[in-house]
């Protein structure tokens, strides 16, 4: 089945090349890879299949641009980011069309992402002039101590396909605000949105070499190694799976890079008996089914206290019945396809495993071949148990498993029984419980009585094997800066003539 792709208002935003040193370039080898519309499986364009050699050119360009870019004033960098933000807002419709085309999410969600992504540039345009150092009272008499915040240098950025715009702007925004230059490897599945952002960077007046976007699919590991093993690259910021994060950390060890890793999650979502049912159901719908379950902060395990379990299940399923699954450009579609067949297979395996072990499917549970190979029904399963695969692995798809529980202590233990800890959610109207449980959850982010926590103003990141470092917020810029301490000796002398 096909779907009609709306034309871009500005067709020059659709680029099929990488962007190095301010120029649109092909791979040195001339090789390309195809990019597919996940809804139709049709090829929608090509991008250069870059190699280590191409990555090196991008790293060299970023290194050459760094000495002068770091000397720009924070106010100048702020203005550049603000201009880039304005251009993203002006072109949000086109950015959204590109996101839907290569990622599959419905246009309404893609527009939301375009705005969310632009907001990181706005936020960091405001943070750039506010990177303050400290003055410190020295322990040694006559010494005066202060700190300078300096850009770390050339940064390598690697991001996933699930937010083709926002995951990149969340890294480039603070990097540029700090005075760093970047080499970003765009996701192989969704490279066109990143290329459109690069085109807008030119219009925003970002100097050549400051932002470089390289592309690869099958050569991704080689390109990744070129970045992580480079002496020139001083920092790597990665968003993606925990497995790839561990690999990149090992590869970065020889050059002892500064690292930020935003990795996989397995978010517990807890509904206590005292919760407002409607609020909890709406929160669960938003958290579990955002981007068809393909966000790192999506609820993965829904724990519902026994006193409210049946009512919650009924109300939750009633909402899921209203979903319209389809192609992202089609009117009224609320949920799109998954990104590829491997994602569908994982979702199917989690459903089959749950059913085999006694889970009851309340709605969904099947692929949707009439829509296309990558479509899966939004699914709710009840009577889940801790032995099931979904309890221990991130599904990254549209399956909600409902686990019953009895006590607060029991559910916190279950929630923390994970080697990852990115987001966690719970619903309760008891203020003391709110504090108790928020403090007890082993995660980097907690949503209380809400299923949506993402905000450029709030620090985003995890604990345990969900990684380290924080993106967004007033601390996000620190990931791209180093603190230099200066001690002035021989100070504190008497005034001359005293």
Interface ranges with ligand NAD (CB under 6 A): 158-162, 187-188, 220-221, 224, 239-241, 244, 247, 262-265, 296, 394, 396, 422, 462
Which of 127, 262, 408, 479 does the annotation list as catalytic? Answer: 262
Residue from 295, 377, 466, 473 that binds ligand O=CCCC(=O)O (CB under 6 A)?
A: 295
Decide: 111 and 93 in contact? Cβ < 8 Å.
yes
163 part of the interface to ligand O=CCCC(=O)O, by CB under 6 A: yes
Taking contact as CB under 6 A, which single stretch among the options 19-27, 43-51, 160-168, 267-275 is the one that binds ligand O=CCCC(=O)O? Answer: 160-168
Q: Is 262 a catalytic residue?
A: yes
Decide: 74 and 129 in contact? Cβ < 8 Å.
yes
Decide: 273 and 426 in contact? Cβ < 8 Å.
no
Residue from 87, 195, 284, 297 that binds ligand O=CCCC(=O)O (CB under 6 A)?
A: 297
Residue number, 246 or 436, with CB nearest to ligand NAD? 246
CA distance 449 to 271: 9
454 binds, among ligand O=CCCC(=O)O, ligand NAD, none (CB under 5 to 8 A by kind): ligand O=CCCC(=O)O
Decide: 408 and 437 in contact? Cβ < 8 Å.
yes
326 binds, among ligand O=CCCC(=O)O, ligand NAD, none (CB under 5 to 8 A by kind): none
Residue number, 115 or 454, with CB nearest to ligand O=CCCC(=O)O? 454
Residue number, 153 or 476, with CB nearest to ligand O=CCCC(=O)O? 476
263 binds, among ligand O=CCCC(=O)O, ligand NAD, none (CB under 5 to 8 A by kind): ligand NAD
Taking contact as CB under 6 A, which single stretch among the options 125-133, 174-182, 206-214, 291-299 is the one that binds ligand O=CCCC(=O)O? Answer: 291-299
CA distance 50 to 220: 8
End-to-end C-alpha distance for the chain, whole angstroms: 90
Q: Which residues contact 152 (CB under 8 A, 6 or more apart)?
A: 178, 180, 234, 235, 258, 480, 481, 482
Residue from 296, 351, 400, 418 that binds ligand O=CCCC(=O)O (CB under 6 A)?
A: 296
Q: Kind and range of the H or E element at 286?
A: helix 277-289
What is the DSSP secondary-structure string of 423-477?
Answer: EEEEE-S-HHHHHHHHHH--SSEEEES-S----TTS-B--EETTEE--BSTTTGG
The position carrying tokens 């085309």 is 101
State in angstroms the smallest separation of the CB of 299 from ligand NAD: 13
CA distance 37 to 87: 26
State in angstroms the smallest separation of the CB of 239 from ligand O=CCCC(=O)O: 7
Tokens of 46: 């090509």
454 part of the interface to ligand O=CCCC(=O)O, by CB under 6 A: yes
Q: Which of 160, 97, 93, 88 is CA-nearest to residue 124?
A: 88
CA distance 198 to 215: 12
220 binds, among ligand O=CCCC(=O)O, ligand NAD, none (CB under 5 to 8 A by kind): ligand NAD
Taking contact as CB under 6 A, which single stretch among the options 10-18, 274-282, 295-303, 430-438 is the one that binds ligand O=CCCC(=O)O? Answer: 295-303
H helices present in 230-266, as ranges: 242-253
Residue number, 100 or 466, with CB nearest to ligand NAD? 466
CA distance 298 to 291: 9
What is the DSSP secondary-structure string of 74-99?
Answer: HHHHHHHHHHHHHHHHHTHHHHHHHH
CA 430 to chain centre: 32
187 binds, among ligand NAD, ligand O=CCCC(=O)O, none (CB under 5 to 8 A by kind): ligand NAD
State in angstroms the smallest separation of the CB of 462 from ligand O=CCCC(=O)O: 10
Residue number, 159 or 201, with CB nearest to ligand O=CCCC(=O)O? 159
Residue from 100, 103, 162, 292 that binds ligand O=CCCC(=O)O (CB under 6 A)?
A: 162
Q: Which residues contact 439 (CB under 8 A, 6 or more apart)?
A: none
Which residues are identified as catalytic? Answer: 262
| Positions that interact with ligand O=CCCC(=O)O (CB under 6 A) | 162-163, 166, 295-297, 454
């Amino acid at each position: 089945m096909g779907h009609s792709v709306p034309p871009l208002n500005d067709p020059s935003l659709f680029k099929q090349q990488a962007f190095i040193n301010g120029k649109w370039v092909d791979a040195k080898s001339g090789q390309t890879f195809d990019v597919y519309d996940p809804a139709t499986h049709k090829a929608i364009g090509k991008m250069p299949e870059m190699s280590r050699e191409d990555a090196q050119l991008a790293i060299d360009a970023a290194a050459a641009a760094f000495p002068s870019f770091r000397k720009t004033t924070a106010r100048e960098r702020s203005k550049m980011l603000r201009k880039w933000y304005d251009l993203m807002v002006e072109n949000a419709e086109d950015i959204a069309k590109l996101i839907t085309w290569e990622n599959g999410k419905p246009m309404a969600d893609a527009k939301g992402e375009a705005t969310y992504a632009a907001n990181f540039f706005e936020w960091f345009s405001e943070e750039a002039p506010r990177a303050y150092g400290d003055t410190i009272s020295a322990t040694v008499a006559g010494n005066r101590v202060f700190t300078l915040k300096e850009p770390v240098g050339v940064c390598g950025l690697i991001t996933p396909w699930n937010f083709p715009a926002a995951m990149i702007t969340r890294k480039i925004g603070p990097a540029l605000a700090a005075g760093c230059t970047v080499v970003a490897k765009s996701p192989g599945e969704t490279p066109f949105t990143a290329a459109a952002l690069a085109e807008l960077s030119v219009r925003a007046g970002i100097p050549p070499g400051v932002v470089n976007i390289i592309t690869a699919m099958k050569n991704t590991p080689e390109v990744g190694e070129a970045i992580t093993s480079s002496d020139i690259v001083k920092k790597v910021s990665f968003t993606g799976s925990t497995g790839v994060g561990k690999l990149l950390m090992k590869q970065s060890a020889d050059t002892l890079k500064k690292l930020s890793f935003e990795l996989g999650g397995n978010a517990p979502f807890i509904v206590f008996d005292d919760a407002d049912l409607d609020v909890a159901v709406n929160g669960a719908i938003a958290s579990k089914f955002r981007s068809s379950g393909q966000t790192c902060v999506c609820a993965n395990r829904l724990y519902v206290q026994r006193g409210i379990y049946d009512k919650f299940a009924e109300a939750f399923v009633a909402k899921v019945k209203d979903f319209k699954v389809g192609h992202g450009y089609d009117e009224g579609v609320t949920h799109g396809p998954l990104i590829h067949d491997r994602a569908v297979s994982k979702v199917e395996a989690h459903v089959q495993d749950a059913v085999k072990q006694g889970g009851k499917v309340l709605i969904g549970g099947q692929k949707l071949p009439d829509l296309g190979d990558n479509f899966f029904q939004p699914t709710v399963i009840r009577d889940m148990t801790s032995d099931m695969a979904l309890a221990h692995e991130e599904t990254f798809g549209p399956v909600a498993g409902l686990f019953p529980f009895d006590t607060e202590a029991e559910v916190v233990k279950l929630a923390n029984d994970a080697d990852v800890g990115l987001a966690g959610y719970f619903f309760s109207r008891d203020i003391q419980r709110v504090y108790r449980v928020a403090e007890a959850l082993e995660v980097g982010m907690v949503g209380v009585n809400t299923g949506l926590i993402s905000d450029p103003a709030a620090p985003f990141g995890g604990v345990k094997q969900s990684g380290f470092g924080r993106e967004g917020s007033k601390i996000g810029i620190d990931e791209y800066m180093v603190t230099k301490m200066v001690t002035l000796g021989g100070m504190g002398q008497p005034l001359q003539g005293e």
